[in-house]
Structure 1
Amino acid sequence: MCKLLYGQTNSFPASGDVGKMAWNDPGPGSTDWYRRMFIHPNGNIGIGTIIPTEKLSVNRKIRTHEIKVEAANSPDYVFVKSHLPDIPSAEDVKVNRVDLGDMNAKLLKKIEELTLYMIELNKIIKSQQNEINQIKSKIN
């Protein structure tokens, strides 16, 4: 069980900061308490770290159902007046945010489409090279 000890403050020599911590209950027969979460006085929260450098610093894997990201400058490099099909425009991202899971699936689809396109182009290039070689051999 994790307990937030509101009354406890800890000072850290490196910074002199004082913050609140959540401790993991050691369970029956153990006295091995260890830190799970740290709330810095500046409002930053650390999970797995007592030195959170961002509003939320996590020093382990996380699992979530959804992450939305606000993108200040989302690029629209491909077209001047449009964007890739099925990929939100820079304006759409600015207004509606980006769902990382959804965007990851869309980008993977685009990578697969580009890979198939490159394979097809490579076949065409090889065929054209064969034709060039045949023409060269006839000339010589």
Structure 2
Amino acid sequence: MKQFFLFSILCLWANIIIAQTSGTASSGAMGWRRVAYVAGSGGRSFGRVTVFTEGGDYQPIVTTIDWAHDWSSGAGIRVNSDSQTTQYWRAVRITDDGTNSYIEVNFATTINDVHLLLDNYGWRLATLYTGTLPAGGGTVRASANVARFGIEDKFIIRHNGNVGIGTASPQAKLAVNGAVLATEVKVKTDIAVPDYVFAPDYEVATLAEVEAYVKEHRHLPEIPSAADVEKDGLDLAKMNLLLLKKVEELTLHLIEKDKQLDDVHTRLNRLEEQNKSTDNQ
């Protein structure tokens, strides 16, 4: 029984050991370099390659690349990295030349000690390059920026925490290139809600002042111009509160105009009564 148990453990270790093929290479130069290839049959395959540095002259960094390549232009690529930085390589892609397909890495600097791991699972496994990595090329079928997690330009989580949907380079905590559908959107902001407009000492710009401003600038006071929105985008929280402020100011103007109309009606009624009184005399 003990012998059988030991044999089972050895078999398990053997499976773990042979589950990956390793290699060491040099990038040779900056730019796109091939790290693995699938020979023949149009490069049809799927699998996983890991690129990493062990330390020494280089900070330990690891990036895992999953890919799939079909007969023609059908291909997909995904990256995953638990490292906090990506200073040695920027992006990955899968290319082909009509016969073979290639997994390529865009190196940001020359690295003389690049370690490669090929997981021995998948279909039509790739072969790792060794020595000096050859330059990349061919037709690009899919690509992704190196990040904590990235699926081509469909979804990405950058090392700085920015999340992008439909964009490979999100410039905010969440950047969406496309329509957003939601059942509810709630924005929390530290911008003061403009209830101060109704304070007794708040001075509302006269309509004449607003007219003069609009004639000169072609937009309402405090509201960004079309050129500003085109350049900087639209801050929805700020814009909603600015619009609320304009509605409140407009409400004050309407209240004032209503009082003026009431006053006019009152005077007209008095004048009418005086005229009637005069006619009766």
TM bracket, shorter-chain basis? 0.3 to 0.5
Normalised by the length of structure 1, the TM-score is: 0.41
The normalised TM-score by structure 2 is 0.23
